[in-house]
Amino acid sequence: MNNQQLATDILKEIGGKANVESVTHCVTRLRFVLHDTDIPNKETIASLDGVISVVEQGGQYQIVLGNRVNDVYDTVLQQVGELKEDNTREKTKKSLFDQFTTTISGIFTPALGAMAASGTIKGILTILSVAGILSETSGTYIVLYALSNAFFYFMPILLGASAANYFKLNSYVGMLIGASLIYPTLLPYATEGSLTFLSIPVNMMDYTSSVFPAIIAVWVAAKINGFVQNWPLKDLRFMVQPLIVLLVSVPLALLVVGPIISNLSSLLATLVNNVYHFSPVLGGLVIGGPWILMVMFGLHWAFIPIFLNNMAMQGFDPVMGLLLANQMAMAGAVVAVGLRTKNDKTKALAYSTGLTTLIGVSEPALYGVLLPYKRPLIAAVIGGSLGGVIAGFTQTVQYSFGGSGLLGIPLIINPAGIDGGFYGGIASQAVGLVAAFLITYFWGIIEPEKRKAVKSKESVDTKINFQEVVQGEVVPLTEVPDKVFSEGLMGQGKAVKPQSNTFYAPFDGMVTALFPTKHAIGLTSDQGVELLIHIGVDTVELEGKHFTTLVEANQAIKKGQPVIKADLAAIQAEGYATITPVVVTNASAFEKIMNEKESLIVAN
Residues acting as catalytic residues: 26, 534
Q: Are 26 and 51 in contact (CB under 8 A)?
A: no
Q: State the Cα–Cα distance between residues 462 and 526, nearest whole angstrom.
A: 9
Q: Are 25 and 505 in contact (CB under 8 A)?
A: no
Q: State the Cα–Cα distance between residues 228 and 242, nearest whole angstrom.
A: 9
Q: State the Cα–Cα distance between residues 176 and 467, nearest whole angstrom.
A: 61
DSSP string covering 343-388: -HHHHHHHHHHHHHHHTT--HHHIIIIIHHHSHHHHHHHHHHHHHH
Q: Count of H helices and E strands in the chain?
A: 24, 19
> 3-state SS string over 35-47?
CCCCCCCHHHHHC
Q: How far is C-alpha 366 from the chain's CA centre? A: 11
Quickly count: other Cβ atoms within 10 Å of residue 189's Cβ.
Answer: 17
Q: What are phi and psi of 530, to 5 degrees?
A: -100, 115
Q: What are phi and psi of 54, to 5 degrees?
A: -125, 130
Q: How far is C-alpha 21 from the chain's CA centre? A: 29
Q: Are 302 and 374 in contact (CB under 8 A)?
A: no
Q: What are phi and psi of 440, to 5 degrees?
A: -65, -45
Q: State the Cα–Cα distance between residues 174 and 454, nearest whole angstrom.
A: 52
Quickly count: other Cβ atoms within 10 Å of residue 262's Cβ.
Answer: 18
Q: State the Cα–Cα distance between residues 95 and 586, nearest whole angstrom.
A: 32
Q: State the Cα–Cα distance between residues 520 and 517, nearest whole angstrom.
A: 8
Q: State the Cα–Cα distance between residues 573 and 229, nearest whole angstrom.
A: 39
Q: Does residue 15 come out as left (phi exceeding 0), alpha (psi in the -120 to 50 range) or beta?
A: left
